[in-house]
Chain A
Amino acid sequence: MRVGIVGYGAYIPRRRIRLGEIAAVWGADAATYERGLELHEKSVPASDEDTVTMSVTASRRALARAKIDPSSIGAVYVGSESHPYAVKPSGTIVAEALGATPAVHCADLEFACKAGSEGMFLAAALVKSGEVQHALAVGADTSQGAPGDALEYSAAAGAAAFIFGSSNLVATLEAQVSFMTDTPDFWRREYMRYPRHAGRFTGEPAYFKHTLGATRMLLEKTGLQPKDFAFAVFHQPNGKFPMRAGKLAGFRREQLEAGWLSPWLGNTYSGASPIGLTAILDQARPGDRILMVSYGSGAGSDGFVWTVTERIDEVRAAAPATRDQLDNGKLYVSYGTYAKLRGKIRMGE
């Protein structure tokens, strides 16, 4: 049975903070960060935006493109490392808001930055097994870096949602793989407010090993080569890593650019490569083949090969395009406003 994406949607908050604004506060050299990380600005969630609200909006947009009855959604998976509640699922709120309850299986997923693609992996497999007709997978985050830490320059907010099914596909799933080892490069223990990371160890032995490992597995499994793809998108913790991974894997810049959002979006964690995929679907042509590889610290990568169908042209306009959300209507905030919005200011008792 052919399975794949029936509808997709993205949500990017309007607020942005420039890297220079953050660097000035900490006395850091903005040019070094902009050049070194290829990052210029990042999205900031407003006080009424969190992982659940962004997930709901992205999912409603996916529903608008899928044009299905929400009660036919038999599974809802919300992947995030910034679920609003430590105990109480995000997924129940999302499923309720969409009208998918009560005949629905629901779980919140967590795997650092790859919780979103984990949900996609599971949703595709559940549909393929015939257990459910449609399944929703969301990757969303409002991630935080400790003030002044390198992560503060990249940790951003955004969401992407995908409804999986076996008919009326906009993109057929050709293959999916998972490449995972126990590699502790980034973590946050219970009661820790901000995550910790292992500096440069997060690069070569963590991000690159796993993204390139998953890419290799996908190419071996499908017998495809980089030139067979119209587009490729990799997890984007900053602007530099996904381009380097793509090039190391044998892709050209033109294949990577459509899904490369991080220089102006930041790292949306569980949303990163999923949002990149939505930007690609916004401009892909029927027959185009897309490679997507996520990365989550800890560490692992999920990889997918998609082929776009004729139906893409019918659904594209049914919801806001991802690039439009990224490029238009931006509201720049100061570090003071950013600190307030991110709860970094200690309030009175």
Chain B
Amino acid sequence: MRDVAIVGVGLSRWGEVWDASLRTLWTEAALAALDDAGLDRVDSITVGSMTPGLFVGQEHLGALLADELGMAGVPATRVESACASGGVALKVGFAEVAAGLADIVLVTGVEKMTDVSGDECTAALAAAADAELEVFYGATFPGLYAMMARAHMARWGTTREQLAMVAVKNHRHGALNPHAQYRQEITVKDVIEAAKVAEPLTILDCSPITDGAAALVLAEIGVARKLAKGRPIVRVAGVGQATDRIALQSRADLTTLPATTLAAQRAFKMADKGPADVHLAEVHDCFTIAEIVVVEALGLCKPGEGGCQASSGRTALGGELPVNPSGGLKSKGHPVGATGVAQAVEITTQLRGAAGKRQVKGARVGLTQNMGGTGASTVVHILEVAS
């Protein structure tokens, strides 16, 4: 297997981007990544997108976007794995380069979510749950994650304030990120007193609806060295993916995420590293409870101690192990198909030492964790500064 490095990163505008359609957002990110890499051609394109059919009535994104970029002819594939679509698009791009199918791959993710109403958006996202066993009975993701939160609180004594601290921390990080959708700092009181969505979760426990795209350029390590221009080379050291029972009700335990644990074990094994080697992580905080369960599942803390990671400051910028220095899904925004790619954009930026005010000092190994549904699909990447 060949070594693979990230040689270009790019983001489109993120937020409620009223004046740009899916293709425009995607092209902004793709061109930014190509410019960053100093390239104008690629061998292959992957596009992570959860449900453009429901959001904007457009499928067949591979050909559409290759065409939009003026690259008709290049192989281009849409990858779907619910909210993990972006992370899986990165895995697919990695596999193409590692296998020698391509030397340079443009890995992208995009979602245009604000062309539909809030209700339609909730319904589109619910398509990632089990339609027959969950959605049919009225379950939505806020409701499912609220059940996970209640279970975690009952089993481990996790508090309402600890949930809120995840959002407070991530907004504090996002306030330092010019790309974040919501850059205002919030307080524990703000979170707890905000409108209830599904108890115990309020609107400020939930990641927002976001339009946005993200892009990476992957290259075989030899090609990457020629393109480095003095910048640190960021190598994809480990890749792990796993699945779980899709319906929450089918799982033995609501307080763990076995797919995340499995994916992490696979990625760590491939990278020949362990949780103690990680300097920072970007994880899938679609709801505050998700970050708490995910840091436990990744082995970044002991089971049951996820609740105090944000409140103790350990996972804040300046702490021992910063989690979601970008602001995470909560503050930076969550264009679902783009999220997994954007996590790698952030880690790459951090490992290059180019993250400005939110820079994690001395960061040489970073982890991304991106999941779909209530964690039934998870993909973990470990990135490191290549020696």
Which residues from chain A sit less than 8 Å from chain B, CB to CB? Answer: 29, 32, 198-201, 204-205
Contacts and interface: CB of A to CB of B under 8 A. Distances in A.
Contact of A199 (B19, B117, B196): B117
Given A29-B195, A29-B196, A32-B195, A205 B118 contact: no
Given A199-B117, A199-B118, A204 B16 contact: yes
Interface of B: 16, 18-19, 114, 117-118, 195-196
Nearest to A28: B195
Given A201-B114, A205-B18, 13 more contacts: A29-B195, A29-B196, A32-B195, A198-B117, A199-B117, A199-B118, A200-B16, A200-B114, A201-B16, A201-B18, A204-B16, A204-B18, A205-B19
Contacts of B117: 198-199
A33 to B, nearest CB: 10
A235 B320 CA distance: 51
Nearest to A205: B18
Nearest to B193: A31
Contacts of A205: 18-19
- 3 tightest CB-CB pairs across the interface, nearest first? A205-B18, A32-B195, A199-B117
Contacts of A201: 16, 18, 114
A205 B115 CA distance: 13
Nearest to A201: B18
Contacts of A199: 117-118
Contacts of B16: 200-201, 204
Contacts of B195: 29, 32
B208 to A, nearest CB: 11
Contacts of A198: 117
Nearest to B18: A205
Contacts of A200: 16, 114
Contacts of B196: 29
15 contacts: A29-B195, A29-B196, A32-B195, A198-B117, A199-B117, A199-B118, A200-B16, A200-B114, A201-B16, A201-B18, A201-B114, A204-B16, A204-B18, A205-B18, A205-B19
B138 to A, nearest CB: 15
A21 to B, nearest CB: 19
A103 B196 CA distance: 60
A323 B19 CA distance: 40
Contacts of B118: 199
A199 B113 CA distance: 13
Nearest to B120: A199
